[in-house]
Structure 1
């Protein structure tokens, strides 16, 4: 049985002589392709960095990042339920609201005592 298995494996393992191997084109062709795509990647990365920098500079001069001291309109202060922390009316990163809330709570504690 082992001789039958050995012959079958030899037939599968051998490549017919008339079959052309497309992968063996020579070592210098592969190196040229690698070099070409490395250059293309470097140029594309540079273009993306330049375009991102341009977009960043145009956004910073646009003026959306400026905050005013005016109170927020009512439509921007809608709460369907209170937040789960001590100052339940303040959003998570609203430091001014937290300061006011804590000052009010400190004033209430002083009045109680």
Structure 2
């Protein structure tokens, strides 16, 4: 990068046969750049964005939403109450006869 600037300066000096002046640099805060106008523009854009988001939030939240039956907490913990094949008293319990 520095070598390219040196070469460019030398070419300019050789063409004009006058001492080479330092190349003019353009910075973002140059005199032609109006910071106040740019700040005002972005302030307006920000307020417009805030108003738009607020309106969209009010519209979305004012709409109704469907209410569904609450699903079981975990599908794999869904317990079925099914009778044992050997009866409701259990395998090892003796039945009492009256």
- How high is the TM-score relative to the length of structure 1? 0.42
Which protein is richer in helix relative to its size? 1
Structure with greater contact order relative to length (CA < 8 Å, sep ≥ 6): 2
Larger gyration radius, structure 1 or structure 2: 2
* TM score, norm. by length of structure 2: 0.46
